[in-house]
Amino acid sequence: MEPDSPLMHNFMAFGRYLEATLGFRDDAEQALDEAIAAADRAIDLDDPSGTGHMIKGMIQLRRRRHDEALESADNAFRRRPSCPWVYALRGAVHNYSGRPEDGVDQARLAIRHTPLVPPAFPAVLATAHYLMGQHDEAIDAARGTLELAPDTLETSVMLA
């Protein structure tokens, strides 16, 4: 391992994030704190990929720190403007900070930027439409999510 490589710290941050969010650690908040510290280290090492900013944004969104999450997502965007995951993160942040119309735009950009659409992207789109009261569009997007991942709980609840 190279301690001065931002890549190592990004992998460490993402690993801690997954440990926390997938229930592999009893102390999930501690794991998220460790993920933030590793992401910050990658950022301090001038990580050109923007991954550290992405991971921070995901954690900040999870902790309902919407302004910080949007700032992190925007920092990631400046480093990787063609990354569909950046658009999906920005869409999710907009959804949960009361701007679902911006969430729709970002989710559509995420979907447009990749030939292989992960279920998270139409889920962000479905949530945005739902929050705007556009239920038919939300149902269509939610069905798209379920086609990609039939066991997606949030989307199944939305359709119920």
Residue 149: its pLDDT value, please? 80
Angle at 18 between CA 12 and CA 22, to 5 degrees: 155
Residue 130: other Cβ atoms inside 10 A: 18
Q: What is the pTM of this model?
A: 0.89
Chain centre to alpha carbon of residue 104: 14
- The three-state secondary structure class of 64 is coil
Residue 159: Cβ within 10 Å count: 13
Tens-binned pLDDT, residue by residue, of the chain (160 aa) = 787 899 999 999 999 999 999 999 999 999 999 999 999 999 999 999 999 999 999 999 999 999 999 999 999 999 999 999 999 999 999 999 999 999 999 999 999 999 888 889 999 999 999 999 999 999 999 888 888 888 776 667 667 6
Give 83-160's CATH code, choosing from 3.40.1190.20, 1.10.3720.10, 3.30.360.10, 1.25.40.10.
Answer: 1.25.40.10
**Boundaries of every domain in the chain:** 1-81, 83-160
| Confidence at residue 151, expressed as pLDDT on a 0 to 100 scale | 79
What is the number of other CB atoms lying within 10 angstroms of the CB of residue 134?
17
* Nearest alpha-carbon partner for 50 in 91, 2, 82, 21: 82
